[in-house]
Structures are given as structure tokens and as C-alpha cells.
Amino acid sequence: MMNRLAIACLCLVVADNLHAEDWPQWRGPRLDGSSTEKGLPLTWTATDNVAWKTPLPGIGHSSPIVVGDRVFVTTCLVEQKSVDKSRLLICIDRRDGKVLWQREVVTSPLETKHGLNSYSSSTPASDGQRVFVTFLRSRPMTEEDAKVDPKIRDGHVSWKTLVPEMVVAAYDLDGNKTWEKVPGRFYSRHGFCSSPILHKDLVIVNADQDATAYIVALDRSTGAEAWRIHRPNRMRSYCVPLIVEAGGKTQMVLTGSEGADSFDPDTGKPIWHQDGPTEQYVASPVYGSGLLFMTAGFPTYHNWTVRPDGVGNITKSHIVWHENKTSALKASYVPSPLAVGDLFYMISDSGNLSCFEGKSGKRLFMEKLGDHHSGSPVLAGGHVYLTDDAGITYVLKAGPTFDLISQNPLGDKCFSSPAVSRGQMLIRTNHALVCVGKR
């Protein structure tokens, strides 16, 4: 009898692990905010239905990632009295919220940034063996540095004495640094936020900026450069690329550099390009209904879809529908959209949630949720989760009608996006990492 009971328990554990899914990078395993997890909580408060809450030092807007029983998050110790501030990678036990280790990745003066940005906004990524992080490090300019002309579009006084460099570093799961690389400089009046993403044996980072811009792929094991894409315009954008099977091929799609582009993520070679429709981009695209949905909001506001089977310049041939006379209420600048079956969800920075028919572009509803949103929505268990800057998470039943189930405050501001794993939701607020759900 005991052997049968043990076997039955083991089968339940194995079945649970088979259905469990890590959240290993920005917007999860598919880079689109979707999770296969079921049974996530629908209601909570700052004290109810919370498994644990771990205070975090410093400030950061980066989102947490989950790898097995480990959670990784970054921060910047802005309260340090020295000119150089520490940027940290922190490892937390997912089971009880205990801090397992923290590592100082970079020490550097604080860079110029937008008021809604932070000094630790890039979300880490993990392949299950290593954790990859990106930060900006400013170092004193040398005579040799002064000879390099990065063709800065919009300069600042500090850039005449300091050289801002993008640092990409890799750590094993026990906190040992395995490599560190500087792919190039990074100039942006809005600050830094370039979350790494993973593809096969590559770590890919977007460096659209106010100077000579690029996208770079590094070998995950060594940090050696595998390929580099030259970006044609010196224009800051913060879009994390989407890697997706679409149009009969694997594509890496992103907005930025005054347009939308698709590349082969294995080689960096271009597949197609769309001109415009605006100047700056932050939100990542999503894929659904056989279409790529994109939203952008500076200086003009747009929602549009693209057929992914094009080659070359597709501006006049592959745009299926386009809202080009919209406003800040009806398009997003920062939050990324969500594909839900044949629907697209989009939350504007000002908190207006819209739902579109994927193929027609018909707006099925637009409803107000919160005063301001920076985080991106998550889809799990047939529900859509959206956290606003006040730390309130709105839970809706996914579908073509507006069906609000709950509003769940945490009592602290939040500028990150949730992570989902093993029936729990991890939300990074200004002062803590909160694990919502059963222990």
C-alpha cells in the first residue's frame, strides 16, 4: 500500500512539473506575455493570498524572471553616498522569498534619464544554466575615446567627460560571473533599458540610441560576438525584439530606428522593413491571427498589423490595417500589447484598455483601468492581468467583451511587469518583490 501511495504522489509531482513553466526572460518563455499556467490567483491584497514578500534594496523598474526555484531581479543602489552607484543582480528562493545571493555587476555614476525610467530597467534572461544582465556603465573619457565620433544626435554635458558603455554580463546560478562584454557605447537622453533575449546559443540585445546604433548577438557560453546589425537612424527606441515562427520562417521582429523590421535571428540578416509610421518606440510587437500587431506613441500614435510573409520594403504591400489618426488614449507608448486568440489587447500609458478584432482592426471595447500604466499585461489561465503604476492589478476574463473580475492593490508603486510560474505571480514593486498565490 505504501509503495502505491509513494508512486501516486510521485506521479502527481511529475505531472505538476510537466505543466509548470518557467518565466526566463522579458515577457516570459515566448516573449509575448503569455503563460500556459493555470490556477493563478484572481484576488489578493498586500497581505491576503500572498506567499511571501521580500524587501529589495535600491530602486529598479526591471521585471523578475523565474528559473525553477530561483527568482532573479536587478536593482540600483541610488541611496549610496558615493558618486558611483552599485547595480546589483539578486537571486531569491521562489519557495520562501529568502535572498540566496546578490552580486554587484556594475558601479558607475548615474546616467541622464527620463523621469519615468530607472537606473535598473533591463530585465535579466536565463537559459537555465546562466543569467544574463545588461547595465549602462559610464567611465572617464580618455584621449583615444575623444577621437571616436559616435555621431550623437542629442548630446549632454556629461558625455563630454564620460563614455557611456553597455555592459552585458553572464553569471551561473550560484552567482559566479562567467563572462562580461562591452558591445559598444550607448547614448540616450532617456537613459538605458535594453533587456537581453535568448535564441538558441545566442544572447541578443537591442541598442537603438541617439548615436550610431546597433543590435548585437553574443555567444551564450563565451560572450563572443556572433553578428551585428547596423541600424540606419540615430534614434532612441527601447523595443525588446519578438522572436516568432511566422510567414514560414523564424523571424526576429521589432520596432525602432523610425520603422519596423524583421531579421533572421540566426544571422542578423534582414527579411523585411516597414517605413514609420512614427519616430520612437518602446512597446514590443505580438503575433496572433497570423498577423503581427504593433503599437507606438511618440510623437504620433498608431496601432497597426503586418502580414509577416513579406520580403524587402513592405510599407505599401503588407500592412493589413492601421489606426493612424488616434491619440494617447487609444495607443501605447510603453506597455506592450497582448495577443489573446484572435484578439489583440492594448493598454495605453494613460490606462485605457482596448480590445481589437485581430484581422479587421475593429475596436470591440475601450475601458479605463488606473491613471497610468508602465507594465505590460500577462495572459494566464484564460485571464488577463494588468498592473498599473499604483500597484493595482486588474484581472479580466479574456474575451471580446469587457469582464472585470477584480482589482488587487499591493499598496506600493509598480513600474514593472508581472512574472508567472508554478501557480504564482511575482510582482516587483518599488520596495519589494511580492509572490502572490499559495506557498
- Asked if 120 contacts 75 with a C-beta cutoff of 8 angstroms, the reply is yes
- Give the residues across from 186 on adjacent strands: none
Give the C-alpha separation, 167 to 136, whole Å.
6
- Asked if 137 contacts 106 with a C-beta cutoff of 8 angstroms, the reply is yes
- Check whether 13 has a pLDDT greater than 70: no
Q: What is the mean pLDDT of residues 361-370?
A: 97
pLDDT of residue 154: 83
pLDDT (tens digit, 9 = 90+) per residue, 28-72? 999 999 999 999 999 999 999 999 999 999 999 999 999 999 999
pLDDT of residue 4: 57
pTM of the model: 0.94
pLDDT of residue 200: 98
% pLDDT > 70, the chain: 96
Give the C-alpha separation, 127 to 221, whole Å.
10
Give the C-alpha separation, 424 to 94, whole Å.
10
pLDDT of residue 2: 47
Residue 150, judged by CB atoms within 10 A of its CB (0-12, 13-18, 19+), counts as: buried
Give the C-alpha separation, 275 to 319, whole Å.
11
Backbone angles phi, psi at 174, to 5 degrees: -95, 5
Q: What is the mean pLDDT of residues 84-97?
A: 98
- Check whether 12 has a pLDDT greater than 80: no
Q: What is the mean pLDDT of residues 200-212?
A: 97
Domains of the chain: 21-436 (2.130.10.10)
Residue 391 gets the label, from left (phi > 0), alpha (psi -120 to 50) or beta, of: left
- Check whether 331 has a pLDDT greater than 60: yes
pLDDT (tens digit, 9 = 90+) per residue, 277-301? 999 999 999 999 999 999 999 999 9
pLDDT (tens digit, 9 = 90+) per residue, 147-163? 998 889 888 888 989 99
Which pairs count as long-range contacts for 249-252, CB under 8 Å and 24+ apart, including other chains?
Answer: 251/308, 252/199, 252/204
**Which grid cell is 249?**
520562417
Where residue 405 falls among pLDDT bands split at 50, 70, 90?
very high
Q: What average pLDDT does the chain have? A: 94
Distances (CA, A) of 340 to 82, 324, 334, 381: 47, 23, 19, 11
pLDDT (tens digit, 9 = 90+) per residue, 121-139? 999 999 999 999 999 999 9
- Check whether 20 has a pLDDT greater than 90: no
pLDDT of residue 19: 53
Q: What is the mean pLDDT of residues 264-271?
A: 98
- Check whether 11 has a pLDDT greater than 80: no
